Chain A
Amino acid sequence: MSQSKSTSLIDARILVPAIGDALRKLDPRSLARNPVMFVVAVVSALTTVLLIRDVMIGGRDIAFSFQITLWLWFTVLFANFAEAVAEGRGKAQADSLRRTRSETQAKLLVGESRADYKIVPGTSLKVGDIVLVEAGEIIPSDGEVVEGVASVNEAAITGESAPVIRESGGDRSAVTGGTQVLSDWIRVRITAAAGSTFIDRMIALVEGAERQKTPNEIALNILLAGMTLIFVFAVVTIPSFATYAGGYIPVIVLVALFVTLIPTTIGALLSAIGIAGMDRLVRFNVLAMSGRAVEAAGDVDTLLLDKTGTITLGNRQATEFRPLRGVSEQELADAAQLASLADETPEGRSIVVLAKEMYAIRARDMAALHATFVPFTAQSRMSGVDHDGTTIRKGAVDAVLRHVEEATVTTGQPRASADSLREIRVIADEIARAGGTPLAVVKDGRLLGVIHLKDIVKGGIRERFAELRRMGIRTVMITGDNPMTAAAIAAEAGVDDFLAQATPENKLTLIREEQAKGKLVAMCGDGTNDAPALAQADVGVAMNTGTVAAREAGNMVDLDSDPTKLIEIVEIGKQLLMTRGALTTFSIANDVAKYFAIIPAMFLAFYPQLGALNIMALATPQSAILSAIIFNALIIIALIPLSLKGVTYRAVGAGSLLSRNLLVYGLGGVIVPFIGIKAIDLVITGLGLV
């Protein structure tokens, strides 16, 4: 995974422009998106007007009113600043993306021939146009390869400089605008018009320009608006209660109480948390098509994981030679090695390696042995060598047995005893049950034994699944293997369940069944035949190497095409929700201390007895109110790093996770402001500000 785009939390290149953006976001149209901060801005404006009036008529406590007003505006600005910093981090990425989108020229094909094209600007291309892209040229827009094969440098979007192969047909046909063809040529059918290409969408996403509020964010905003209203009732009724008691409370003090009580902390940081969540995904080289998908990732109950590449290493490896009775291991290894010397498949190479490691059989020169390699074909399903009249074959057990039978028929004499036939089947079954693939080896029609090819389960994957189980997520392995092999690998890898002999249809059925039980399902896929399942899944992660159909069907695209990432995506989703919850809890819990700061200060003039509630022993009523409002503003700044970084997710049960977070953010939220307000009070009285 590429970390080249990472930016640290404290980076002057982001912080300095963010200050300007914070001021620009004072635009009421932009403030109105956030109900809590909009209300704060409105009351700040109100106090400003009152302050000006007081200055003109020479009212009392001008210095105090001025400071309160100033900090009220700071509260709004800090919220804007938090959002601007979050966006700024995205912008830095967007800028680097935008550079790749520089004006390209496209060779629009007008006839059948490859030479029959005209040069047009890349931006004028329409969906369905066919363009020619040759070595060294930039692919003008997203599309699908309809002819040819080429190596493409996709570093612009993935950050990975190793070229990838893109070819027509199959599962590697999608190309992305802005990437560069390194060798050969391809004909590309354009699938996205200018402005809606993959890179355009990516830029819009990381910049937050297209940011839609996610369902959970909307719900949280309703809660915050509701709490704001409750405190409106609590505060607007105070003047009348005070009048009854024969006192008077200045508007500025009421505003201060109101602003400290409403959930400004979470209100200020809510959008920053959302942007940062998307940003964390982008850092992981995953593009979410919507914030909704990120939230859904946190809720996933069932993960469908492809066996190959996710649970096991991509290739099987030879781990054992199992000779028949009367054949030495050495003899079997020797024959197997010879049959595999010219076999370039990973399986073939692993046989050579195993023979060398276990029996010190060194590589031999094929030419010196007068050997000719017989490659694997779909008909024979075997490969091997012929040399000096000897034939060695290795292949699927049934294919090899058929080969032996055919030899028997042609020569008329049985080459394999009934015993050896039975024995080889027994060994083959054993291997299959253990999750391996048996390869039979035959030399001159005589069965020698079986090579055990094994699926190697990735290191550490068992622990990952155990972790997922603790998170409450069920893992299902998807494989084309037969049920016996699948069960063995599933047991070894520690997944909860498996789907053997998977087809696109039964994958889709499995997803529907899980969803019918109320579960949210995540899966990843790359082929066109995965598209229906990707579309059906609640979180469908398409591999960037995949087809256009798969990329359109999924709601996330993994630029690194690494299926294991599904696990990280789930964690990022959870982290996003947790951060919101933690800061909301913290924000609400803060109210207790603020009451104890402001209530005694507010009513002290006419009920001096209420001084007993001043448990923080704040110096004067004015310093108490000012300290509370300063704390309220500064806590926003203090929590920006947490909102951008996210609360750390631990894969422990929900119960212990909750008790930990409740302790830190709930109880901490009650205690911290008592200390903070007292400290600020000491400072401002020390400085003589009140």
Chain B
Amino acid sequence: MTLNGWLQIVVYCGIVILLVKPLGGYMTRVFNGERTWLSVAFGPFERILYRVAGTSDKDEHHWTTYTAALLVFNAAGLIVLYFIQRWQGELPFNPAGMPGVAPDLAFNTAASFVTNTNWQSYSGETTLSYLTQMMGLTVQNFVSAATGIAISIALVRAFARKSVKTLGNFWVDLTRSILYILLPICVVGTLILVWQGIPQNLSAYTVATTLEGAQQTIAQGPVASQMMIKHLGTNGGGFFNVNAAHPFENPSALTNLIHMVSIFAIGAALTNVFGRMVGDQRQGWAIFAAMGVLFIAGVAVCYWAEAAGNPLVHALGIEGGNMEGKETRFGIAVSALFAVITTAASCGAVIAMHDSFMALGGMVPLVNMMLGEVIVGGVGAGLYGILLFVVVAIFVAGLMVGRTPEYLGKKIEAKEVKMAMLALLILPLVMLGFAAFAVVLPAGVAGIANPGPHGFSEILYAYVSAAANNGSAFGGLTANTPWYTVSLGIAMLLGRFFMIVPVMAMAGSLVTKKAVPASAGTFPTHGLLFVGLLLGVILIMGGLEFFPALALGPIVEHLAMLGGKTF
């Protein structure tokens, strides 16, 4: 590890921390329906949209209506995206003449983008037309991110409001996240990315003759417009197969920094929105601090493992860290940082091959996702994910102050515990369940590139990434087979919606409760003690169940390497 490496990490963290308050304040005003400086431009348009849709920002909904709207909207998105892919061959903006996508792959990709996972069993530049990229994927990049934000806002309102039945209006929350938050940032960001050299055109692929005289096809297209939302909305689906490692997706140090910052920006700011809405910003900072500790710990382990390198390689007289699968222009520190960011948030964009990381370095992204992507997390999803852990932590430890557990004045009772547990159960069920089938089924084992524990990690990583709606791939696994496309598609849908419904049910129950005023006997939830408790619960409740699987994957691989054996 180098000072320069750590400096880059510190600068990154500093920028994110500085963004939390201003962006949080702005987003709070947006979701409270207050005027912002963009209201002049978008206000009238927003109202026209509501009138056309037959709703109004005065219309507030019960959690069931809110959830139904959300599910219907996402189901429609799934169907539309499926058919755009299937019929892309007949549709315009297809200069490369891509044929329709196969049904299983189309299902996988549709599920992937609707759930904000952006797992890519396909290779963008050889599979999808520009129309599919723009109207299909980019649109879902926006709306799936907005869906996540809307859910988190509904849950925040459940804590902030007292004794009411309504959580807000899904259509309004969706519209506002896109119109006031995602779009403006993306427009500005995209222009910067274009300035930095990311292509934005509808031209056919360029065929160039290289110096050796070989023919090379250079893929391009409307890349920049997808890049900004891909990171800002923690989507992660690259325009090209190698994702942000491709020079057209990530041409410079500046674009790389913009990518990394935008992955965390909204998720981090949402903690502040939470604090502001419940009337005590310290509550938001406490959650942010818990996320921060886990993040820094992950970065430290991953950077250490990669910088330390492979002792077996050192034995051959080659000094230095592990550069396999990394680009020299990014180096070890930034590659490790990016890997942790992209899996802490549920982005999934990559600039290096996680498959080629050291066993322990590769375990960090895996653990980040197993914990349910609560370290900043996917936009919205990270906040509601960590709030589930908060509810459980408060319930277990809150009893220890001798009161029925309460968080922000809301009593945590049977209904909340039930819903939180249902939401927390789905991830281990899907991740471990599918992996257990895949590692013994011939169709599953056929996909792996390496034998032994490393191959096990490849399969495990795929299902963990899918269920956590991350979308990053460990690499090595051939995932474009019917078994993987279908099972991963199902895993993504289960991991997204079987979590959302209990979260919304919990919100519906919380919002009706009156708030107990805090007293000296109330468990304080803004201090270091609470942060420590929350960390303990996240690691024990969210992590321990994966210990056997980790032992059989990265841990044994690491120990075997120390013993001189690699896979």
CB 8 Å contact bits of A318-341 with B (1 = contact, 0 = none) = 000000000000000000000000
**Could you tell me if B439 and A585 are in contact, using CB atoms closer than 8 angstroms?**
no
CB < 8 Å neighbour of B417 from A219, A245, A301, A574: A219
**Could you tell me if A649 and B402 are in contact, using CB atoms closer than 8 angstroms?**
yes
CB < 8 Å neighbour of B440 from A238, A244, A469, A603: A244
| A 631-690 contacts with B by CB, 8 A | 647, 649, 653-655, 657-659, 661-662, 665-666
Q: A215-B414, A581-B396, A666-B536 are in contact. Are A612 and B559 (CB under 8 A)?
A: yes
Give the complex CA separation of A222 and B395 in angstroms. 11
**Could you tell me if B417 and A223 are in contact, using CB atoms closer than 8 angstroms?**
yes
Q: A234-B545, A237-B433, A577-B403 are in contact. Are A474 and B519 (CB under 8 A)?
A: yes
Contacts of B422 in A (CB 8 A): 226
The minimal Cβ–Cβ distance linking B412 to chain A, given in whole angstroms, is 7
**Could you tell me if A588 and B396 are in contact, using CB atoms closer than 8 angstroms?**
yes
Contacts of A609 in B (CB 8 A): 556, 559-560, 562-563
Contacts of B71 in A (CB 8 A): none
Q: A234-B428, A655-B524, A659-B529 are in contact. Are A240 and B400 (CB under 8 A)?
A: no
Give the complex CA separation of A435 and B452 in angstroms. 85
**Could you tell me if A234 and B519 are in contact, using CB atoms closer than 8 angstroms?**
no
B404 contacts A by Cβ under 8 Å? yes
Q: A223-B395, A223-B396, A472-B521 are in contact. Are A216 and B404 (CB under 8 A)?
A: yes
**Could you tell me if A657 and B414 are in contact, using CB atoms closer than 8 angstroms?**
no
What total of A-B pairs shows CB separation below 8 Å? Answer: 222
**Could you tell me if B521 and A471 are in contact, using CB atoms closer than 8 angstroms?**
yes
**Could you tell me if B445 and A658 are in contact, using CB atoms closer than 8 angstroms?**
no
Give the complex CA separation of A577 and B521 in angstroms. 13
B392 contacts A by Cβ under 8 Å? yes
The minimal Cβ–Cβ distance linking B440 to chain A, given in whole angstroms, is 5
Contacts of A581 in B (CB 8 A): 396-401
CB 8 Å contact bits of B411-439 with A (1 = contact, 0 = none) = 01110111001101100110011011101
A582 contacts B by Cβ under 8 Å? yes
Give the complex CA separation of A18 and B189 in angstroms. 72
B560 and chain A: residue at smallest CB distance: A609
B559 and chain A: residue at smallest CB distance: A609
Give the complex CA separation of A499 and B445 in angstroms. 76
**Could you tell me if B397 and A592 are in contact, using CB atoms closer than 8 angstroms?**
no
The minimal Cβ–Cβ distance linking B520 to chain A, given in whole angstroms, is 4
Give the complex CA separation of A574 and B523 in angstroms. 13
CB 8 Å contact bits of A597-613 with B (1 = contact, 0 = none) = 00100110001011011
Choose, from B122-130, B171-179, B509-517, the stretch at the interface.
B509-517
| B 532-559 contacts with A by CB, 8 A | 532-533, 536, 540-541, 544-549, 551-552, 555-556, 559
CB 8 Å contact bits of B368-401 with A (1 = contact, 0 = none) = 0000000000000000000000001001111111
The minimal Cβ–Cβ distance linking B278 to chain A, given in whole angstroms, is 15
The minimal Cβ–Cβ distance linking B527 to chain A, given in whole angstroms, is 7
Give the complex CA separation of A471 and B552 in angstroms. 48
The minimal Cβ–Cβ distance linking B530 to chain A, given in whole angstroms, is 9
B456 contacts A by Cβ under 8 Å? yes
A591 contacts B by Cβ under 8 Å? yes
Give the complex CA separation of A682 and B456 in angstroms. 35
**Could you tell me if A299 and B404 are in contact, using CB atoms closer than 8 angstroms?**
yes
B409 contacts A by Cβ under 8 Å? yes
Q: A219-B414, A226-B424, A240-B440 are in contact. Are A658 and B520 (CB under 8 A)?
A: no
| Chain B residues engaging chain A, CB cutoff 8 angstroms | 162, 392, 395-404, 409, 412-414, 416-418, 421-422, 424-425, 428-429, 432-433, 435-437, 439-440, 445, 452-453, 456, 514-517, 519-524, 527, 529, 532-533, 536, 540-541, 544-549, 551-552, 555-556, 559-560, 562-563
Q: With A242-B552, A592-B540 given, can you name 7 additional A-B contacts, CB distance below 8 Å?
A: A219-B416, A233-B432, A234-B428, A257-B548, A470-B520, A520-B516, A658-B397
- Pull 30 A–B residue pairs with CB atoms less than 8 Å apart, ordered by A: A219-B413, A226-B424, A227-B541, A229-B421, A237-B435, A240-B439, A241-B436, A242-B552, A244-B552, A295-B404, A469-B520, A472-B519, A473-B519, A519-B517, A520-B516, A584-B396, A585-B397, A589-B540, A591-B544, A603-B552, A603-B556, A609-B562, A610-B555, A647-B400, A653-B520, A653-B521, A654-B522, A659-B529, A662-B397, A666-B536
| Chain A residues engaging chain B, CB cutoff 8 angstroms | 215-216, 218-220, 222-223, 225-227, 229-231, 233-238, 240-245, 257, 261, 295, 298-299, 301, 469-474, 517-520, 573-575, 577-578, 580-582, 584-585, 588-589, 591-592, 595, 599, 602-603, 607, 609-610, 612-613, 647, 649, 653-655, 657-659, 661-662, 665-666
